[in-house]
A and B are shown apart, each in its own frame.
Chain A
Amino acid sequence: MTDHLSFERLCDLADSALAPAAEESARAHLRTCEQCASRLSAISALAASTAALPQEIAPPEGLWQDIRKDLEPRDAIRRRSRAWPIRHLAAAAVVIAAASSALTALVLRGTNSDATTRSETASAPTTTSTPVQPTPAELPARLASAEHGFTRSVDALQRTLDERRDSLAPSTIATVERSVRIADSAIAEAREALARDPANHALAALFASNYERKIDLLRRATELAPRT
């Protein structure tokens, strides 16, 4: 327990910022320490998902007030969490969740601003490892951009989950995959409807919520203990 890699060292490793000798030493540790390997996966997923964020997101008016209201009751649990080793993983999950919330805001803004502007690309980006299939229907550019952000987050988490696949029980994998299929089906259905009615604010919110639930499911699956 005393020789775990520090958070800073894991971040440097994820960024390929370590000297060769230090990197070799760190990777040797990772080969025998599942806890550190798991943290590195989470950090890598976080980096990928943050890279997927849109360059410009103007938060809706009043968003900060809502966030503050949400955060206040969690202060105590957050204080406790800071003291525990899992905090880095939790931080990664929080950022990914925040990213998906920001994307939701982008989706909702998209229904109000350029709903009639069509994307130049015919198909929206989809995950490489999940069964969401591109549909012929086009989304307005801003919605397509937001969906791209969602799918990047999904991809990052899915990769982490794939890396940990052998450490999870088959029944758990089956549950996760079944739920992902359900989420994908709902996303596809909402997406198709949104392509037909891009100015529908309620529909855009449902579309974004489907993605958020899928991302949260994958995030939780990546945090599961080995052989669970």
Chain B
Amino acid sequence: MRAVPLLAVAVALASAAPFASAHAQQKVLLGHATTSTVSLKLFAAVGDIRVVGWDRDSVELSGVVPTGVKAQLYAGAPDEHAKGLKMFVESPTEQSGREGTLVLHVPRAARVWLKTGSADMDVTGVTGGLDLNVVGGSITVHGNPKEVRAESMDGNVIIDGSPEWLRAKTATGDITLHGGGDIGASTISGTIRTNGGDVERAKLESTTGTLSFASVLTRNASVELETHSGPIDIQLSLKSDADVDASTITGAIDNQWTRTRPATGREGRGMTLQTSSGMGGAHIVVRSFKGTIQLRTSKLSLKGP
């Protein structure tokens, strides 16, 4: 691998007035001219970080961090609009890496790779791609990026827009989504929810976490929900043209969406349900080992072509 720090441009670390924090703090200001679709990689040990898409072909990282924290920027070509940037905000101690606040401005169509430890991430106004990774903090994405990959261990992930492509993963954190073209969400024990929005294709899975699906199905949508023991709650409109194929190994199925009654499963254990509404078209597959599956009626309607 070749990783050459070609140039750090416009680096300004200045002492700031004393803050309320136990640690002295300093200001950070890094910036560079870029293309409108710059790929940016930022590793930041910081308390909170906000990413904002703006209508300029440049990147700017600003904020306040504890004294001793180092901020660096690496660009491929110092005198040109960079196509790729790397930025590092490194903390000398674990504690100082949990303090401070940064704001990263990027061109709207930028592709942003952001990795932090315990920071809370908040992204708004980015229409390009996001690859967000945090351990203990939360991830919140506003707007409609084209692609989002968001991973947290025990923090929550909230995507309130409808990306074309979305993958979200947690261990214990909750995931809240608002539809999208192609959605994948996975957790061990967190809750996964889709609240509103349109869904073309989705796979939601958990080990023990709750799965709650309450989005609008596009025509010919394909949705798969799978859990070991988490409860599954599906809300569908009576007007939905959808087929549902649900089965459990030992869990119960409660169908309040149509009049079809679930049947007893293999060897007298578990339950199965095949039911549909309207002309069919959208297809929902639900699999559970022992979690209860519930289908309910919602006021959401199937989206037209």
Spell out A's residues near B (CB within 8 Å): 1-2, 4-7, 39, 73-74, 76-77, 80, 83-85, 88, 169, 171-172, 175-176, 178-179, 182-183, 186, 189-190, 193, 197, 200, 202-203, 205-206, 209-210, 213, 216-217, 220-221, 223-225, 227-228
A203 touches B249 (CB 8 A): yes
B129 in the interface (beta carbon within 8 A): yes
A169 touches B39 (CB 8 A): no
The 8 closest A-B pairs by CB, nearest first: A228-B117, A186-B228, A228-B135, A179-B171, A179-B188, A73-B165, A1-B3, A175-B154
Partner-contacting stretch, out of B15-23, B25-33, B145-153:
B145-153
A-B contact pairs, 23 of them (CB 8 A): A1-B4, A4-B1, A6-B2, A76-B146, A76-B147, A77-B147, A80-B39, A169-B117, A171-B136, A172-B136, A172-B153, A178-B172, A179-B171, A179-B189, A182-B188, A182-B189, A186-B207, A190-B249, A206-B228, A206-B289, A209-B226, A217-B188, A225-B43
A213 touches B147 (CB 8 A): no
B136 touches A80 (CB 8 A): no
B207 → chain A, closest Cβ, in Å? 5
Residues of chain B contacted by A197 (CB below 8 angstroms): 266-267
B257 in the interface (beta carbon within 8 A): no
Question: Helix, strand, loop or mixed for chain A's interface?
Answer: helix
| Selected contact of A83 from candidates B39, B165, B188, B250, CB within 8 Å | B39
B34 in the interface (beta carbon within 8 A): no
In the complex, A147→B196 CA distance in Å? 38
| Selected contact of A227 from candidates B97, B182, B208, B228, CB within 8 Å | B97
A200 touches B249 (CB 8 A): yes
In B72-117, the 8 Å CB interface with A consists of: 84, 94, 97, 111, 113, 115-117
Question: A216 with B186: in contact, given A73-B165, A88-B1, A186-B207 (CB under 8 Å)?
Answer: yes
In B1-57, the 8 Å CB interface with A consists of: 1-5, 39, 41, 43, 45
A175 touches B171 (CB 8 A): yes
Residues of chain A contacted by B43 (CB below 8 angstroms): 225
Residues of chain A contacted by B136 (CB below 8 angstroms): 169, 171-172, 175, 228
B226 touches A228 (CB 8 A): no
B241 in the interface (beta carbon within 8 A): no
Question: A85 with B1: in contact, given A77-B149, A186-B289 (CB under 8 Å)?
Answer: yes
In the complex, A88→B1 CA distance in Å? 9
A172 touches B131 (CB 8 A): no
B97 → chain A, closest Cβ, in Å? 7
Residues of chain A contacted by B165 (CB below 8 angstroms): 73-74
In the complex, A80→B181 CA distance in Å? 21
Residues of chain B contacted by A193 (CB below 8 angstroms): 249-250, 289
